Amino acid sequence: MTNFASRIAGVATLALAALPLAAIATTADARPVSVQVSDIDLNSAHGLAAFEQRAKHAAREFCRDSRGPESPLVRANCRSAVMSELHEKLPAAQLAQIRGATYAAR
């Protein structure tokens, strides 16, 4: 029985060690997403609509998997996460335009 418990513990240890490697493999090819905002007025309704359109396009491009098909749910979650991050950065871009500074998204 002790030998069986040792084997189970060994397998569990290997499985736990593999989890970080799996996470690294999925994020290692992560690249920055950028949305050009220098040519639009982010403080107008038209400018915000243009930003939204560009952000959606950037999210679709970023979440497209070049290694093969993924589930629609995985792609939707990815697009949602990218859009959330872009919307978090939007107020800083608006403030930068108000101040006349240049905003560079990464």
Q: What is the pLDDT of residues 28-42, one digit of tens each?
A: 456 788 888 889 999
* Claim to verify: residue 82 and residue 61 sit in the same structural domain: yes
8 Å CB contact between 5 and 34: no
pLDDT at site 5: 53
Average pLDDT (51-64) is: 92
* Claim to verify: residue 96 and residue 49 sit in the same structural domain: yes
Q: Phi/psi at 22 (nearest 5 deg)?
A: -65, -40
pLDDT at site 72: 84
Q: Please provide the average confidence, as pLDDT, over all residues in the chain.
A: 73
pTM: 0.61
* Claim to verify: residue 39 and residue 21 sit in the same structural domain: no
* Claim to verify: residue 4 and residue 45 sit in the same structural domain: no
8 Å CB contact between 82 and 30: no
Q: Which domain holds residue 45?
A: 32-106
* Claim to verify: residue 10 and residue 46 sit in the same structural domain: no
Tell me the three state secondary structure of residue 79.
helix
Cα dihedral: 41, 44, 47, 49 (round 10): 160
Residues 106 and 100: their CA atoms lie apart, in Å, by 19
* Claim to verify: residue 45 and residue 67 sit in the same structural domain: yes
* Claim to verify: residue 24 and residue 71 sit in the same structural domain: no
Q: What is the pLDDT of residues 60-74, one digit of tens each?
A: 988 886 555 678 888
* Claim to verify: residue 90 and residue 44 sit in the same structural domain: yes
Q: What is the pLDDT of residues 6-30, one digit of tens each?
A: 555 444 444 444 444 334 334 445 6
* Claim to verify: residue 44 and residue 78 sit in the same structural domain: yes
* Claim to verify: residue 26 and residue 61 sit in the same structural domain: no
